[in-house]
Amino acid sequence: MQIDFVSTSAGARDAVLRELGPRLPLRAGAEVPAATPTPGDLLWIHGDPPELDVDLLAARIAAGQKLLLTGAAAVLIARIGAEPVQPEIRRATWPSDVGPRALRGVMALPGHPLFHRAPGGPYLRLAEPDRPFAEAVWDRGNWPGRARVLGVEKLPIGCDATRAILVEARHGRGRVLALGAHFPLEFGDRDFAEHRARFAGDLIDHLVDDLAAERGPVWPNPWSRGSVRFAPLAVEVATGGSRVVAGATTPSGLDRSIGWGPPASRIVTGRPQHDGRDDSPAYGPNAIASRAIARE
């Protein structure tokens, strides 16, 4: 299996090679490789989409290639025809007075296999004062028409269930995962770099494991007449031999392990999956979130 990471940002390419290059069979470049992918290969496009032949990309995915889209590149899920409703690309800047508790991430519903190492969904970033950002999300009455919504925006307390940021879709024999927000690779925010690296591994695992496709709960369209409005969740999960409340209405539990298991992409590395804390030198203890919250 080969993973081709494509981004027009040299900073993003450097970051992904630094964080994931030693762990995954990863190549990084500014353009989509011209060579026809072999079965099982995965293409990961991040940030502003590069110049590419959309029809050729759609044909490759339909033929069985897996596609991971992060950041503004999530708009490609609509351009290749895997999702009829296009997300809105939004560019803005974090305000100067954004506080140290301004965490953002992906909120999951209980029981979805993608989030087996992060029950409730992971935090992925701290908002950075005056830092520009771009995202591709479904909100303000806009909602995916075909893709399954796996995650909405996770806030410091609760979530915004009207903002779909993580979706999956089939396209022919291929599959697409699109995470349109809160995955900065190009700059700063070192507190959550390891969270992003591990979640990238989980996204890759989910894509390459076709048995995981279309399993688990999905978020309903909040704009439909029959939709159920979700209250903030508190999910009781088993962690080791004890039971804790994890990943729901508050980040206070993140000073404990939230279930990060073996190195990113257990399928690629061939290492057995296990539950519980991993304090190996390659990953280290999971205390970065508590340090970030403590900053004033």
Output the pLDDT for position 227: 53
**Triad 15, 74, 132: Cα angle to 5°:** 55
103 close to 153: Cβ distance less than 8 angstroms: no
Q: Residue 44: inside a domain, yes or no?
A: yes
The answer to whether 258 and 276 have CB atoms below 8 angstroms apart is: no
Q: Are strands 159-171 and 174-179 parallel, antiparallel or unpaired?
A: antiparallel
Q: Determine, yes or no, domain membership for 237.
A: no
User: How many other CB atoms are found less than 10 A from the CB of residue 20?
Assistant: 24
Write out the residue range of the structural domain in which residue 92 sits.
3-213
Q: What is the amino acid identity at position 239?
A: T
Domain annotation covers residue 69: yes
- Assess if residue 287 is contained within a domain: no
Query: Whole-angstrom Cα distance, residue 196 to residue 194?
Result: 5
Per the CB < 8 A criterion, the answer to whether 245 and 235 are in contact is yes
User: Is 62 part of a structural domain of the chain?
Assistant: yes
List beta partners, residue 45: 6, 69
In a domain, 150, yes or no: yes
What does the H/E/C string look like for 135-174? EEEECCCCCCCCCEEEEEEECCCCEEEEEEEEEEEEECCE
Give pTM, 2 decimals: 0.78
State residue 253's pLDDT score: 25
Query: From first to last of its 296 residues, what are the pLDDT tens digits of the chain?
Result: 899 999 999 999 999 999 899 989 999 999 999 888 887 789 999 999 999 999 999 999 999 999 999 999 999 999 999 999 999 999 999 888 887 668 999 999 988 889 988 888 999 998 888 888 899 999 988 999 999 999 999 998 899 999 999 999 999 999 999 999 999 987 656 778 889 999 999 999 999 888 777 778 999 999 876 554 443 333 322 223 322 223 322 222 222 223 333 333 332 333 333 333 333 333 222 333 333 333 33
How confident is the model at residue 246, as a pLDDT? 31
CATH number at residue 55: 3.40.50.880
Rounded to whole angstroms, what are the CA distances from 194 to 206, 212, 270? 18, 24, 20
Whether 240 is covered by a domain: the verdict is no
The total domain count for the chain is 1
Give CA 15 to chain center in angstroms: 16
Number of H helices, E strands in the chain: 6, 13
- Sole residue written with tokens 């999905």: 218
Is 185 within the bounds of a domain?
yes
Show Cβ contacts of residue 281 under 8 Å, excluding neighbours closer than 6 positions: none
